Amino acid sequence: MKRRVGFSFVVSAALVLTALLLGGLEMRDMLFFRERTTEHFDMTSSVASNPLIGFAPPANNPSVAENDSLVYVDITWEELEPEEGIFDFSATEQANYLKRWREEGKHVVLRFVTDYPQPEEHRDIPDWLYEKTEGDGTVYAHSYGKGYAPNYANPVFIESHAKAIQALGEQYGNDTFISYIQLGSLGHWGEWHVNVQGGVPPLPAEDIRDQYVFPYIEAFPNAKLLMRRPFRIAKAEGLGLYNDMAGHPQSTQQWMEWITQGGVFDQTGEEALAAMPRAWQTAPIGGEFTSALPMGQMLTTHLERTLQLLRESHASFVGPNIPSETGDTNNDYRNGMTQVLQTLGYRIGVTHMEWTERSNRARVKLTWENHGIAPLYWDWPVYLYFTDMEGNVLGKEAIDLRLTQLLPGKTIKTTTDFQLEEPSGDVHAVSVGIEDPMTGRPAVQLASNQEKNGNLALLKVLGD
């Protein structure tokens, strides 16, 4: 029922006296004792394409990427800077449909690559840089493929790399469209390792490698940076981590041992890995499914093992190697996809509401829970939304909730006071939502079972 917001109640002396006699009530609560409503909500197992979690399919494949909230982009140096100082963003944006994905409110996982093994001979750095560094690198052909591994200790290469990352930051670092950056730059596929047995010289020492990290930190203040291994600089700078062998039991177990114990970086023999067992609480975990195992196997016969590895990793997203809707049509495969999506990232909901009101003032107390395996790593704004009969938003009130603190298994209670007088129209209902600052719209589908209006979750319908 539509209702002009604003109420008029006469509080009797007896009611006030009763409130005074109730132990534990503070004076501010007495003022709101005229009407009290409580409601409990259950958490659900439904799957929603929520932002910043789930699958991150290749951005350059619209038919695959259109249904997910994340897309994955890798850029080779050759593509980015074909001429020294001339950065070709338009080609990258067109090839990866970045204008479309931004308009649709998707977010991007980005990796900058200087060496991507392929079946044919090639280089992934531009010709001008090859000439400027006087061919200081190694042409290889080994079990990973063929390509060119630069000498990452070359000072000209390091200086030019810093300028390239600065240019990327100037183009994309001003908001959270690029939300996750998997620090590439070094090694095959940007994974900070090379095939030494295949004749490629080892990566340089830690003091050199760290020079590839700092430009990212400066260029992308709004993005979350992730490293392939828990290097000491990752711990010092509070970076996240990614595992490009997700679903592979032996490789993932080794990766998690690096995280829990630290130790030696096998590429250089240095004690360069730091124990970061709680890193996931403040920085994201990502990666992609391994290509060493059949996807169908990981999603069917070994599904529980796959899910357990994701849980232990506290992974928020996987991509670009992901299950495909067209890859298999059997029910077990699709069930596996669903369970992976139910597992990844956060699952935030409101499980309890207490509503009190008096005259034209109201108070809403909400209990928030996260039944996922990771938090939401940005403190996106949370609001009460006031809507009319058609669901149009007439106004909103901020809720004091830091989503980054809502860890799995944790409960946070919020209290929000607000005026019930709304001059812009007739308020029919009060809902709650989490807003994406990039789009300015509610973006997160709560995992609790309130009635939904898009990404708004209904708390209360206002009566006469």
Closest CA to 463 of 350, 351, 355: 355
Q: Are 433 and 400 in contact (CB under 8 A)?
A: no
Say if pTM beats, i.e. exceeds, 0.85. yes
Q: What is the mean pLDDT of residues 271-290?
A: 98
pLDDT at 36: 87
Residues 333-382 have pLDDT tens digits of 999 999 999 999 999 999 999 999 887 889 999 999 999 999 999 999 99
Beta carbons within 8 Å of 445's beta carbon, 6+ residues apart: 48, 49, 50, 452, 455
pLDDT at 146 over 60: yes
| 247 torsion bin: left (phi>0), alpha (psi -120 to 50), beta (else) | left
Q: Are 112 and 164 in contact (CB under 8 A)?
A: yes
pLDDT at 325: 66
Q: Are 399 and 414 in contact (CB under 8 A)?
A: yes
Q: Which fold has domain 13-46+347-461?
A: Immunoglobulin-like (2.60.40)
Q: Are 91 and 81 in contact (CB under 8 A)?
A: no
pLDDT at 320: 97
pLDDT at 11 over 60: no
pLDDT at 102: 97
pLDDT at 22 over 80: no
pLDDT at 14 over 90: no
Return mean pLDDT, the chain.
91
Closest CA to 319 of 49, 68, 103: 68
Q: What is the mean pLDDT of residues 124-129?
A: 98
Could you state, in order of their start, the residue ranges of all structural domains in the chain? 13-46+347-461, 54-343
- The larger pLDDT score, comparing residue 329 to residue 389, is at 389
- The larger pLDDT score, comparing residue 326 to residue 121, is at 121
Query: In the structure, what pLDDT confidence band is assigned to residue 2 with cuts at 50, 70 and 90?
Result: very low
What does the block give as tokens for 246? 């997700």
pLDDT at 33: 47
Q: What is the mean pLDDT of residues 114-138?
A: 98
pLDDT at 393 over 80: yes
> What is the DSSP secondary structure assignment for residue 271, as one 8-state letter?
E
Q: What is the mean pLDDT of residues 321-332?
A: 78
120 burial level (CB within 10 Å; 0-12, 13-18, 19+): exposed
The helix (H) or strand (E) run that includes residue 256 is helix 249-261
Q: Are 357 and 7 in contact (CB under 8 A)?
A: yes
Long-range contacts at 148-152 (CB < 8 A, ≥ 24 apart)? 148/115, 148/122, 148/123, 148/124, 149/115, 149/188, 149/194, 149/200, 149/201, 150/114, 150/115, 150/125, 151/201, 152/186, 152/203, 152/204, 152/208, 152/209, 152/212
pLDDT at 462: 86
pLDDT at 358: 84
Residues 429-453 have pLDDT tens digits of 999 999 999 999 999 999 999 999 9
pLDDT at 422: 52
- Opening angle at CA 316, ends 313 and 317, nearest 5: 105
Q: What is the mean pLDDT of residues 293-322?
A: 97
| Cα 369 to Cα 414: distance, rounded to the nearest angstrom | 11
pLDDT at 25 over 50: no
- % helix, strand, coil for the chain, step of 5: 30, 30, 45
Residues 404-432 have pLDDT tens digits of 999 999 999 999 999 876 544 588 999 99
pLDDT at 330: 84
Q: What percent of the chain has pLDDT over 70?
A: 90
What does the block give as tokens for 161? 């790399």
Query: In the structure, what pLDDT confidence band is assigned to residue 82 with cuts at 50, 70 and 90?
Result: very high
Whole-number CA gyration radius for the chain: 26
220 CB neighbour count, 10 Å cutoff:
22
400 CB neighbour count, 10 Å cutoff:
9
Q: Which CATH class is domain 54-343?
A: alpha beta
What's the residue count for the chain? 464
Residues 286-295 have pLDDT tens digits of 999 999 999 9
pLDDT at 266: 94
- Report how far apart, in Å, the C-alpha atoms of 51 and of each of 210, 381, 442 are: 31, 14, 11
pLDDT at 78: 98
